[in-house]
Structure 1
Amino acid sequence: MRKFTILSACGTGVATSTVAANKCKTLLKERGIPQVDIIECKATEIVAKADIIHPDCIIHTAEIPVQKLKGIKTFRALQFITGIGAEQLADEIAEYLKTLA
């Protein structure tokens, strides 16, 4: 399977994006997707970063301008912070990424 790139965004690009990224990476590995690069950024940087990096998808814990992301699949990732629903969200992300492989 190929390596996937995910952008992880939060309000400051420091705290919750890191927690979400780490949890996402761990859960995706458990689902047979071991090669994932997750790049963290601020929500305000998401459009510019997406234009440069061309991620396979975006996870976010803050509001982002989805309509400006040119069709990139996004997942609201608060579940990775709270733990409630994290497994189901990881399933959804894994299923999506497997369609791109």
Structure 2
Amino acid sequence: ILICIGIALSNRCGLPIIPTDLFPRELSAIIKIEYAKIKITFDVTCLAITALLTLFLLGHIDGLGIGTILAAFTMGKGVAYAGQYLDKNFQFMPYLQKN
């Protein structure tokens, strides 16, 4: 829950605090698809690539626990819910504005 809030906050501020979440945020803005769908797809794809590389290089899947798998499938929605809460209760203004 705290990670979801942190990612939502960094997305609202426009900061690249979490580099792996910068790509889904920017892609969402470019292709106009909601962030949660892109985030879930991105996380599950990264998880699948990790599993395949681990299987190919080690001969067995190692290091992927149930928490990692659940996070890949749920983190996008959690960030979206946290973002909606932040949008309802806070207003984010850019510090630097064009004059």
TM over 0.5: no
More helix by share: 2
TM-score by length of 2: 0.27
More strand by share: 1
Kindly indicate whether structure 1 or structure 2 has the higher relative contact order, using CA contacts under 8 Å at least 6 residues apart: 2
Is the radius of gyration larger for structure 1 or structure 2?
2
TM-score by length of 1: 0.27
